[in-house]
Amino acid sequence: MGANPTSAFPNGIGASSLRKEDQRFLTGAGNYTDDINFPGQSYAYFLRSPHAHAKIKSIKTQAASAAPGVVAIFTGADLAEAKVGGLPCGWLITDMSGQPMKEPPHPPLAQGKVHHVGDQVAVVIAESYLQAKDAAELIEVDYDVLASVTDVATATQPGQPAVHDMAPNNVCYVWGHGDKAAVDKAFSAAAHVTTLEIRNNRLIPNAIEPRAAVAQYSRSEDAYTLYVANQNPHVERLLMTAFVLGLPEHKVRVIAPDVGGGFGSKIFLYAEETVITWAAKRVNRTIKWTAERFESFMSDAHGRDHATKAELALDKDGHFLAMRVKTAANLGAYLSTFASSVPTILYATLLAGQYTTPAIYAEVTGVFTNTVPVDAYRGAGRPEATFVVERLVSKAAMELGIAQDEIRRRNFIKTFPYATPVGLTYDVGNYEATLAAATKIADVAGFPARREEAKRRGKLRGIGYSCYIEACGLAPSNIAGALGARAGLFEAGEIRVHPTGSVTVFTGSHSHGQGHETTFAQVVAERLGIPFENVDVVHGDTGRIPFGMGTYGSRSLAVGGSAIMKALDKIIAKGKKIAAHMLEAADSDIVFENGNFKVAGTDKQLAFGQVAFSAYVPHNYPLDKLEPGLNETAFYDPTNFTYPAGSHICEVEVDPETGVTKVVSYVASDDFGNIVNPMIVEGQVHGGLVQGIGQALLEQAVYDPESGQLLSGSYTDYAMPRADDVPNFKVDTQVTPCTHNPLGVKGCGEAGAIGSPPAVISAVIDALKDLGVRDMAMPATPYRVWQTIQNARA
């Protein structure tokens, strides 16, 4: 790949360096959790509830315990007796009435009741996985099946079964955000009101690597090691030790080795790894568990699942006056790790979008149902907010007869910093730049001709816009804390310079497909002026890395990269002192350029490696005032979120005979601030777009309303996007550097999934507008599109 002309280094900032990690991934040398084996290990299989909601009258394990190879069987009663706690929720939401949200217990193995299909009832540990699975079939569970509720839109209505006794109407919280009085006033005076009813479809994450864990206990050290497919090993350890198992944190090492995709679903502390860590000491054996795909469907936290009524008030010229949003958000059967924050803090704060809407009010009801817990999934609240905002804007433009780009331009925020009415302050942005670039690349001017040409082929062609914004780089810890976060949200980085000048970076961020080993190495190589090959990045091991918060919410480079930059500053500052001594100059006369410490204005200089060597072989060294060694750690807590934003333009063709929608063109112009590796960024955008198009056209988790069974519980019925479901994407970046972090970066991991669903859906509606279609639910499957056409014609 090409070097960046603006950098002095071939693999510095701005270069599309090939990914270091791909050598092992593409040659089968990756080391995923399921690849890790120990002599004498045993295997766990979890017996799961076949019912959505049932009382457990009894569990008989005698026959199963006698089955070949069985080491032990544990149920909820065993965990209760051992005083194992429930899985905690990491974000406290306070109800409109000032009451804390309802937090029903979340035992790692069910106690008394099961609350969703797939809920863990017992664990069998055996000499082989198949023996554990065979024995589980011999466990006799006597269930008293109860009525269940799965639909978020109706779960809070009177007469519905209560998932938890402590939440009789299935309400976890009713949370309000924004100035309701100002919004109501603006609506009463509005020239036009656009109204939408939206179901944001429930999604199942489907990382290519299923969740997996290997738990070990060492009697000699009285310590545990847990290998787990996870995005944030320190968070996993803290939650598990302090809140569930009551273990000393320093006696547990959590290693998240190579991880095959997470998309949020591997942020959370799950029952399975908790149970096998506890059981590893009880049975004094290493225990391995790897989910089968059917278990992933019924136990990985799902995403989205909102029912929303949204209204936009406008004046006669299409200026936005106010927005009112009422959302019921499905939380599932239990509160997963960050479940409560996703449809509140990460959702309602984004409802301003790119626009100057002066008054916004959102009311969110968190709803318990007999479904798999719902939590953060790529975008986490922001795709839901973007869908509300951009669909409202597109529909308003249609109703008022204003062009889609024009109504957006009329309402763009143009001066920064800009304080929204929903609590965020955007530091910088240039929304016109991405819209103009996308418009040009998409050849919007040529669209009418393309529409006509499609019509001659019997296809209906439509165009859709989405101008999204997201808040990434979570977050200033103090602000998050004031909003209910029960954790800090900084990141940590350590730079360990070796005596010969090569560098190992220890980061609290975690890579599960993002390419940090490459990107972070580029940052270090550029800053220290050393070869990219001389930098290695270590992540994912609490035994090696400083305490950090891991990777989610597009935060790694913005927050983790900033911590690395701060540590590099310390390295350079110390190096200058060492160099000043060696060059017999004043500290203040030393400059660091292109990997050399120089006495300013002279030709006296030392290479970075010479200074590093001196730090570890301190013969000619200021030992009276400086410690030897060159090893620095920094913690970085952001002062604000970052605000990636962009404009996406999608064109689709609908076959009106069959209802099939084909995405024929997709343009994304994004502003991620400065870019370290354009190739990796492009890959992140592509992946996000595919997931967003998947949500818009294909994916939906479906529960049977009567039985509460997950009907879309395998790839036979859950439609994942495939390569031929998407076009060749045209992606572009515009740059307004973030003003408050040292790299000027904003984050790019979620943008594609956030921006694309409304662009696709608006394009489908545009294609069908001459038939009278004004709305389209997700996913716009052929069946749904055909039905919508039939209804419009009727």
> Which residues make up the interface to other proteins (CB under 8 A)?
130, 134, 294, 657-659, 698, 702, 711-712, 715-720, 781-783, 786-787
Token representation of residue 621: 């060294």
CB of 69: closest distance to other proteins in angstroms?
Answer: 13
What pairs with residue 306 in β-bridges?
200, 329
Rounded distance between C-alpha atoms, residue 638 and residue 472, angstroms: 11
Helix or strand holding residue 608 (H, E): helix 608-616
CB of 398: closest distance to other proteins in angstroms?
Answer: 27
CB of 719: closest distance to other proteins in angstroms?
Answer: 4
CB of 135: closest distance to other proteins in angstroms?
Answer: 13
Q: Identity (one letter) of the amino acid at 40?
A: G
Start-end of H helices in 194-299 = 233-238, 271-283, 293-299
Nearer to other proteins, 131 or 230 (CB): 131
CB of 384: closest distance to other proteins in angstroms?
Answer: 22
206: helix, strand or coil: coil
What pairs with residue 199 in β-bridges?
307
Question: Among candidates 427, 367, 357, 422, which has minimal Cα distance to 393?
Answer: 357
Going by C-beta distance under 8 Å and a sequence separation of 6 or more, which residues neighbour residue 47? 120, 121, 122, 123, 124, 136, 139, 141
Q: What length does the chain have?
A: 794
Going by C-beta distance under 8 Å and a sequence separation of 6 or more, which residues neighbour residue 165? none
204: helix, strand or coil: coil
Q: Please give the backbone phi and psi of residue 511, each rounded to the nearest 5 degrees, phi first.
A: -100, 125
Going by C-beta distance under 8 Å and a sequence separation of 6 or more, which residues neighbour residue 676? 13, 14, 519, 522, 523, 557, 561, 743, 745
Nearer to other proteins, 66 or 720 (CB): 720
CB of 31: closest distance to other proteins in angstroms?
Answer: 26
Token representation of residue 788: 């919508």
Token representation of residue 88: 């905690």
Nearer to other proteins, 620 or 783 (CB): 783
Going by C-beta distance under 8 Å and a sequence separation of 6 or more, which residues neighbour residue 612? 497, 498, 499, 500, 501, 575, 630
The CA-based diameter of the chain, rounded to the nearest angstrom, is 90
Rounded distance between C-alpha atoms, residue 681 and residue 675, angstroms: 8
**For 516-553, b where at least 16 C-beta lie within 10 A, e where not — what string?**
bbbbbbbbbbbbbbbebebbbbebbbbeebbbbbbbbb
Going by C-beta distance under 8 Å and a sequence separation of 6 or more, which residues neighbour residue 417? 425, 426, 427, 428
The distance in angstroms from the start CA to the end CA of the chain is 56
Rounded distance between C-alpha atoms, residue 601 and residue 619, angstroms: 27
Start-end of H helices in 1-84 = 22-26, 62-65, 76-81
Q: Please give the backbone phi and psi of residue 348, each rounded to the nearest 5 degrees, phi first.
A: -65, -25
Cβ atoms of residues 630 and 497 within 8 Å = yes
Rounded distance between C-alpha atoms, residue 770 and residue 312, angstroms: 24
**DSSP class of residue 482?**
H
What pairs with residue 174 in β-bridges?
365
Cβ atoms of residues 70 and 126 within 8 Å = yes
- The answer to whether the bond into 437 is cis (omega within 30° of 0) is no
CB of 559: closest distance to other proteins in angstroms?
Answer: 37
- What is the side-by-side strand order in the sheet with 171-178? 171-178, 359-368, 320-332, 306-314, 192-200
Rg for the chain, CA atoms, rounded: 27
Cβ atoms of residues 734 and 713 within 8 Å = no
Rounded distance between C-alpha atoms, residue 623 and residue 625, angstroms: 5
Q: Please give the backbone phi and psi of residue 655, each rounded to the nearest 5 degrees, phi first.
A: -90, 105
